[in-house]
C-alpha cells in the first residue's frame, strides 16, 4: 500500500480538489482506495456527498478503533474516513510529532490489509502533529500555484522538511489561468526549467466550483470537461511514481 499526503502550507490552492479527483481516478482504475479527510473543514467529505458518522478525533485520542470510521462511498473501490469538527482538537489529542507519526504509522499498517492506496487531504498548517503525519506517509503531493513566489515557498517547505527523500516529493502546478499572459509565460519559461515539478498543469476552471454543487468528483460527474482531462493526465504522471504493486 502507498500513502500519499496532499499537503501545502497555503490555503485554497487545490489540495482538496486534487485529493478527491485523484482518489476517484485511482478507484476507477480498480485500486482499493481510501480518501482520509484530515481537515476539520471537511471539504473532501462534502464533495463525496458524505457525512461523518462518528467523531474522528476519538480515534486520535485512542478511544475508538479506526475501522469504525471507514465508510463506503457511492463509487466502487472508494472508501472514506470523513472529517468532522472534532478534528479541531487533533493537535491537542497527540502529544507531538513523534506521537502523531506513531499513530499514523499504526493506522497505515492496519489500512494496508484493505487498501492499495490512501490519499490524505491535509489542512493548511504545519504543526508538529502534521509533521508527524507527513513523516508516516510515502509521498507528498504538493499543489503549487503558478508564480515565482509559490515556487519559492515550495522550495522553503522542502528545506524545512529536509528529511523527506527527493523521490517522495510530487509537486505540481494548479490553477493555471491560461488567459493570464504572465502565468502562461511563467509556466513555459520558469516552471519547465524546474525538473521536480510534474510535467503537467491543472488549469483554472469553473468546473472546480461545480463539484461543490454536484457533490461529486469532477472526473466522475463531468469526465469530458477540461478540468477532468487535466486531472486524468496528472494521475497518469502520479501513478507510476507511486510504485504500486
Ligand atoms: N483548478 C481550479 N480552477 C478553479 N478553481 C479551483 C481549482 N481547483 C480548486 N478550485 C477552487 O478553489 C477553492 C479552493 O480549492 P480547494 O478547496 O481544493 O483548496 P485547498 O487547498 O484544499 O483549500 P484549504 O487550504 O482551505 O483546504 C475551491 O473553491 C475550489 O473549488
Ligand atoms: Mg482543503
Please report the domains of the chain, with CATH numbers, ordered by start residue. Answer: 2-242 (3.40.50.300)
Residue 25 and residue 231 in contact, taking contact as beta carbons nearer than 8 Å: yes
- Please tell me the total number of residues recorded for the chain in this structure: 245
Task: State phi, psi for 70 to the nearest 5 degrees.
Answer: -80, 120
**84-126 pLDDT tens trace:** 999 999 999 999 999 999 999 999 999 999 999 999 999 999 9
Ligand 1 pocket test, pick from 12, 221, 228 with the greatest ligand atom count within 8 Å of Cβ, gives: 12
Nearest CA to ligand 1 atom 25: 11
pTM: 0.98
Residue 26 and residue 73 in contact, taking contact as beta carbons nearer than 8 Å: no
**26-62 pLDDT tens trace:** 999 999 999 999 999 999 999 999 999 999 999 999 9
Q: Which atom of ligand 1 is nearest to the CA of 208?
A: 31
Q: Residues with beta carbon inside 6 Å of ligand 1?
A: 8, 11-17, 39, 41, 43, 124, 174-175, 202, 204-205, 208-209, 212, 227
Nearest CA to ligand 1 atom 6: 208
Amino acid at each position: 500500500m502507498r500513502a500519499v499526503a496532499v499537503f501545502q502550507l497555503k490555503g485554497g490552492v487545490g489540495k482538496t480538489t486534487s485529493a478527491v479527483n485523484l482518489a476517484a481516478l485511482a478507484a476507477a482504475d480498480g485500486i482499493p482506495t481510501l480518501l482520509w479527510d484530515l481537515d476539520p473543514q471537511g471539504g473532501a467529505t462534502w464533495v463525496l456527498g458524505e457525512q461523518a458518522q462518528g467523531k474522528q478525533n476519538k480515534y486520535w485520542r485512542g478511544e475508538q478503533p479506526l475501522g469504525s470510521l471507514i465508510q463506503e462511498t457511492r463509487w466502487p473501490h472508494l472508501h472514506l474516513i470523513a472529517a468532522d469538527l472534532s478534528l479541531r482538537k487533533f493537535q491537542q489529542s497527540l502529544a507531538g510529532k513523534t506521537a502523531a507519526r506513531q499513530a499514523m504509522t499504526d493506522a497505515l499498517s492496519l489500512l494496508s490489509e484493505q487498501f492499495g492506496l490512501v490519499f490524505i487531504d491535509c489542512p493548511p498548517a504545519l504543526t508538529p502533529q502534521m509533521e508527524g503525519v507527513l513523516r508516516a506517509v510515502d509521498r507528498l503531493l504538493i499543489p503549487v500555484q503558478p508564480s515565482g513566489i509559490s515556487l519559492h515557498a515550495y522550495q522553503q517547505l522542502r528545506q524545512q522538511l529536509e528529511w523527506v527523500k527527493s523521490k517522495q516529493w510530487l509537486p505540481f502546478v494548479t490553477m493555471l489561468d491560461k488567459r493570464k499572459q504572465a502565468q502562461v509565460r511563467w509556466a513555459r519559461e520558469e516552471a519547465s526549467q524546474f525538473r521536480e515539478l510534474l510535467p503537467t498543469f491543472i488549469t483554472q476552471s469553473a468546473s472546480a466550483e461545480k463539484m461543490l454543487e454536484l457533490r461529486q468528483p469532477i472526473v466522475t460527474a463531468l469526465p469530458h470537461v477540461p478540468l477532468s482531462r487535466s486531472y486524468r493526465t496528472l494521475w497518469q504522471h502520479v501513478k507510476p511514481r507511486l510504485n504500486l504493486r
